[in-house]
Amino acid sequence: MTKKLFDILIVGGGMVGASLALRFSQAGLQVAVIEKTPLSLVQDSMPTDAAETTEPPIDLRVSAINRRSEQWLQDIGVWQHLPATRLCPYRALQAFEGDSQPHNEGLTFTATELDQPYLGHIIENNSLQKTMWQQFNEFITLFCPATVVSLSQQSAISGYASVTTKEFGEISGRLLIAADGAQSQLRNLAGIGHNGWQYQQACLVATVDTEYPQQDITWQQFTEQGPRAFLPLPGAQASLVWYDDLPKVKALAQLPAAQLALEIQKNFPAKLGKIAVKQQGWFPLTRMHANRYWQGRVVLVGDAAHSINPLAGQGVNLGFADAALLSELVLQALSEGRDLADSQLLQQYWQERKKANLLMMSAMDGFYQLFSSRWPVLRLARKLGLTAAAKAGPLKAWVGAYAAGLKG
């Protein structure tokens, strides 16, 4: 097969990889995107166009997009094209222990306190990915479905590295970006090690109908068994997240919808109200961090570089922050006539993003350990901590701004 040469080669056409493809294409670079999921399967799971009268059901996989990520999506021309019917803004974040009553509201951050119209949006992953792919232009070549079988950096001296795919043969790029998830094949082929562990808990996710109209608050209730989370969705719907021991979560995921709804209402706070389960699934909780973010002409972004406890829904936001910095540095190198895989720029990217990602990973681990502990002393510390934080004034405002992506 004919050898294919590109400026940027991205393995993984998900949200982070697709966003980078768009950004680099805007600068006139020739970009290749290699995605293993067949295009027909991706399209089948995606929402229909807004012009259609019947809206498909909300997908189980959703993300909380903060203000910084929204700005990134605006910059690459995606946000403006997202269907409004699939977006749900949230204007408050709340954390509390036990049930949430007027005397026990815990810690609440509001958009009004931060002088913002909202703190972020909940959106389906596949809706965001579809919109990105619809913006692909003549500078982007999509190889899909395509499976990478090998990597060669022998040609690094000549300015390219290559991957071989089953379907399209050899594809080469001046810079190879691994955006292929936590089990990244390109990371492994590049010989980049990683460390991490699997938490003792798992996570149940359910999409539900609620008895209340569309809400604009996302909250987390902390219990001795693990957090319970509520993410508002468009209309009278919500995404619920239930952390618990692995056997318990597996058993819950196997329940009929009506029975699972009863279990949810018994274990979630009363403020949830009556619900009807539409779909459900589960996944284990893991933490992974690559030992380095680059090797030769291969650089890691998003989950390929770091997999975080989803406690605060920061995973995709960290990935978009990776993409924003990497693209900025690469385009700066382009303007200066430097190699797109210049070791100094890749090292700078690694150092800056490693610091930010580790900070968030450690913070989420700290919350996880603190709020999962059943020790009486830590339970008291949690209550005192939430109470103190709620009255902290400027500190509370800073934390709220950080959570919304307005700082950091």
Helices (H), 92-152: 125-134
* Nearest C-alpha neighbor of 58 from the set 42, 44, 47: 47
User: Tell me, what's the pLDDT at 102?
Assistant: 45
Alpha carbon distance 243, 225 (integer Å) = 7
Residue 263: HSE in the Cβ half-sphere, 13 Å Cα cutoff:
18
Bridge partners, residue 230, by sequence:
219, 240
Say which DSSP state 156 is in. G
Provide φ and ψ at 239, rounded to 5°.
Answer: -105, 125
What percentage of the chain carries pLDDT values higher than 90?
67
Query: By three-state DSSP, how is residue 204 classified?
Result: strand
Torsion, CA 352, CA 403, CA 383, CA 103, rounded to 10: 170
- Over residues 235-275, the pLDDT tens digits come to 999 999 999 999 999 999 999 999 999 999 999 999 999 99
Per DSSP, the residues of 259-307 read: HHHHHHHHHS-GGG--EEEEEEEEEEEEEEEES-SEETTEEE-GGGTEE
Unique residue bearing structure tokens 């590295």: 161
User: Tell me, what's the pLDDT at 396?
Assistant: 52
Record the tokens describing residue 139, joined without a space: 């500078």
Exposed, middle or buried, 53 (CB in 10 Å: 0-12/13-18/19+)? exposed
User: Tell me, what's the pLDDT at 128?
Assistant: 94
- Over residues 329-346, the pLDDT tens digits come to 999 999 999 999 999 999
Q: Which residue numbers in the chain have pLDDT < 50?
A: 1, 45-53, 102-103, 156, 377, 395
pTM: 0.90
